[in-house]
Structure 1
């Protein structure tokens, strides 16, 4: 382990240096952010969980935040193994509550299904949903194109020129109100690098395969831990918003999970309603 950010460090898991921040004491909670997001996007939730006597583990997947570049397309099982390996490297034994936002909901669910003995609770925060994932191009073609595009954008200098601006715009568009809360120096440090853009492109290219893998896991690996689906809802009567809410409710029913709504909230529920996210984790972990 080597030093990273204040309060953070780098831990090598399967040969890849991962940036991780561990805070607090008590039962362990693992927080995993969505596509192209970073550990600091959980800051408000982490502070609340630490105040309620939890050890909070936040980490950046390869190609995200400050972690090393992604070397291979991600898979649901591979990300579940990464979480287990990270806990081993941190010497955190016993079961953990795990919360995954957006695409990381796939990873969190895979962990809960593949490592039931290590899972105390599962919370899916405005999680990605694919009832019947389909692809047009083979996985190799999609990931190859993502790699080429990532290298091209980096060579053109776009991450350095536009990365922080793109990050700020995406966060504003994904909230019901309020700016990006992340410190400017951290945003520049992460989003001015081609590494993060390449990691996000690679993860996005593998999205349908990851979704299909989770659907397959649901057949032979039952959930044994209490689960919660927490959906973000902006309170509007827009058809898209109501349909998304209905899909989240349907997912909760399929998983046998508790269904809760964070309102008003955009996709970045942990920034819009951190108290509700923390409460969902604490309630799920309480049984």
Structure 2
């Protein structure tokens, strides 16, 4: 598959639950929404989007604190929840006037988000693509979520006060990205990485989501029991296979197969690819989206 030139991007800000969110819309046709994993920004999908825009209206957005989106207020906000993330996806689509069904694509942690969206809003889901999605069977959250969230905020505030994100944020982002690709490089534009990862808001968002990770995994287990996916909904599990036959790789792929079996999904191992599949195999991500939608 050869990527055509990308059409003009329509970038805007939508106020969702009082927070201005950065949103980008490209292409035309049936709608697909792309949302990234822990610490991701909109540009992490840049290599995938040109494959999709001739056939799909592609929506990308930054969750609060990430990319160009504003942070949530320092106080008085609930801890991150799957119900909240499902509502955020719905609100973004509604704010864009895209009220019909869409194919929701979630990478890593955001696989939880899009699955919850399909279960909570079954009439809005045309398909699901879970790109190397998080898998946490029988998750047991730690106690005191509000206290943990407050601690995450405090830690981010203290680190920001001594310029930790400004000094080390972009380098940390690049190091993690290199570890998560088989090509061992961060393909995101360096100026955008500096702009988005030097901020305390991105660190706070990352720490808050990381702190609530097991809570959301447990919430998804409850949701799976209470809210079935729409009958006949096409679901694809796209699993990253780095080509190494290590125990870690085999265990990860086994978990992805189990997730596909649980959801009645099409299981697609993709090699060679690290966790950032959209960097290593953007064509495979796009093919999964087009086939699923």
TM over 0.5: yes
Report what 1:59 is aligned to: 61
Look up the SS of the partner of 1:282 in the other structure. Answer: helix
SS in 2 for 1:131: coil
- Deviation digits for residues 246-272 of structure 1 (CA, Å, limit 9, x no counterpart): 000001101111100111111001111
Pick aligned residue for 2:151 from 145, 148, 156: 145
Residue matched to 2:29 = 26
1:74-108 CA-to-partner distances (Å, cap 9, x unmatched) read 11111110110111110012100010000000000
Q: Which residue, 94, 100, 103 being the options, matches 2:100?
A: 94
Residue of 41, 44, 49 corresponding to 1:46:
49
Q: Hey, what's the Cα distance between the residues in 1 that align with 2:88 and 2:10?
A: 21
Q: 1:261 to 1:247 in 2, by over 3 A?
A: same
Aligned partner of 1:3 in structure 2 is none
In 2, Cα distance between equivalents of 1:30 and 1:259: 20
**Match in the other structure for 2:188:** 182
Select the residue among 164, 168, 174 that pairs with 1:168.
174
The structural deviation recorded for 1:148 is 1.1
Rounded to whole Å, the distance in 2 between the matches of 1:264 and 1:171 is 15
Q: Tell me which residue corresponds to 2:202.
A: 196
Aligned position for 2:39: 36
Give the TM-score normalised by the residue count of structure 2. Answer: 0.93
1:64 offset after TM fit, Å? 1.0
What is the alpha-carbon distance in structure 2 between the residues aligned to residue 207 and residue 135 of structure 1? 8
Q: Secondary structure at the match of 1:248?
A: helix
Q: Aligned Cα RMSD in Å?
A: 1.1
Q: Secondary structure at the match of 2:29?
A: coil
Match of 2:246? 238
> Quick check: 1:115 aligned with 2:121?
yes
Partner of 1:266: 274
1:135 to partner: Cα distance: 3.4
1:44 match: secondary structure = coil
Q: Distance in 2 between matches of 1:44 and 1:36?
A: 18
Alignment correspondent of 1:157:
163
d(CA) in 2 for partners of 1:104, 1:274:
17
1:284 maps to 2:287:
no
Aligned length, in residue pairs: 279
Q: Give 1:134's aligned residue.
A: 140
Corresponding residue for 1:249? 257
TM-score after normalising by structure 1: 0.95
Distance 2:217 2:70 in 1: 24
Q: What secondary structure sits across from 1:8 in the alignment?
A: strand
- Say if 2:142 and 2:214, in contact at 8 Å, map to a contact too: no
